[in-house]
A = this chain, B = another copy of it.
Amino acid sequence: MDKLQAGYLFPEIARRRSAHMLKYPEAQVISLGIGDTTEPIPEVITSGMAKKAHALSTLEGYSGYGAEQGEKQLRAAIASTYYGDLSIEESDIFVSDGAKSDISRLQVMFGSNVTMAVQEPSYPAYVDSSVILGQTGQFQKDVEKYGNIEYMKCNPENGFFPDLSTVSRTDIIFFCSPNNPTGNAATREQLTRLVQFAKDNGSILVYDSAYAMYISDDSPRSIFEIPGAKEVAIEVSSFSKYAGSTGLALGWTAVPKELLYSDGFPVAKDFNRIVCTTFNVASNISQAGGLACLSPEGLEAMHKVVGVYKENANIIMEAFTSLGFSVYGGKNAPYVWVHFPGQSSWDVFSEILEKTHVVTTPGSGFGPAGDGFIRVSAFGHRGTVLEACKRFKQLYK
């Protein structure tokens, strides 16, 4: 624990936001910082949950502990909806309380004696959970990196996909696509190379697809679209970014039975044991919500919500592009990654906050390769996103 640097990124941003609001109590602060959904949960989903809640107060509708792995019906619906043609089955799906918790449970399963690779920049939870479990070396102040982690640089020069010929072999590879924070989705050809790389090295690929529903082009929505991926990959995903985060606190992890350790032991058996030992079960009201999400009406409603955020992303991209900035992401993800060459991310963050009262996220919070960038989140009501863009245009005109 002592090795961990500073605060976790988002609490730090919340702290600065609060300080700003104290300084400018009259300001209309807009938050495009933390990736938090803002649109109401579609009624078809909340009704499903309310109905389940009411049922729990009746003798016939009551149920106690369900299976730790999640309710059979929900596991089956996830498998058929997201992996219908990919031979991922109900028994490969572990329902959970969310992707962040599952990443930590996977780290606990891998233990402290593994090496890991991670995209840089990346969502802080991969590295921080690794540090907490003692997988890493000390933090090296000069390069702002931890020892014993292989950082795979992703930047405009390499199209946000690492040059695998320079990446050392590790036991575990974390890969997030569409990416948080860069908003970039890896192509089929890139993911095919990544799967081959993992196979050649005997690595386990942990693929975070929490933003898959935001993909607009023909990038794969699941790593299991890549032939051979089932022998090397675990996929972590979530309902959070589709149907409102904390109302559900619901995600899942797919561990194919084809994925084996080098001694032939199935990884899914280990993960099952981890889930049974360190986790109870996702709230069954949330699971009812998940099931409602996957009904035809629920899917349509989720697509509508996602559509709102995607249009927001477009508006933000256009605003920064019209101001002459180089802008990345946004097309396949709810995040826009704006380049401020030569500037420090925290300086840009502070200037935007001070002059426009808009909270963004400094790119360097996702690792030093993110410095010079800010992440602008498309999660916001349309009106506030338009207002934020108006203020950006005033600041940078």
Contacts and interface: CB of A to CB of B under 8 A. Distances in A.
Interface stretch (A158-166, A191-199, A246-254, A328-336): A246-254
A66 interface: yes
A36 B68 CA distance: 13
A54 B112 CA distance: 43
A75 B248 CA distance: 20
Interface residues of A, number: 75
30 contacts: A1-B273, A7-B273, A8-B277, A11-B276, A34-B65, A36-B65, A46-B56, A47-B54, A50-B50, A53-B53, A64-B246, A65-B245, A100-B279, A100-B280, A101-B101, A104-B277, A104-B278, A104-B279, A108-B133, A112-B112, A124-B277, A125-B277, A132-B277, A132-B278, A246-B280, A246-B282, A246-B283, A247-B283, A249-B281, A249-B286
A39 interface: yes
Contacts of A93: none
A49 B285 contact: yes
A143 interface: no
A39 B63 contact: no
Contacts of A134: 111-112
Nearest to A276: B8
B58 A53 contact: no
A284 interface: yes
Contact of A64 (B38, B53, B276, B286): B38
Contact of A280 (B7, B46, B63, B245): B245
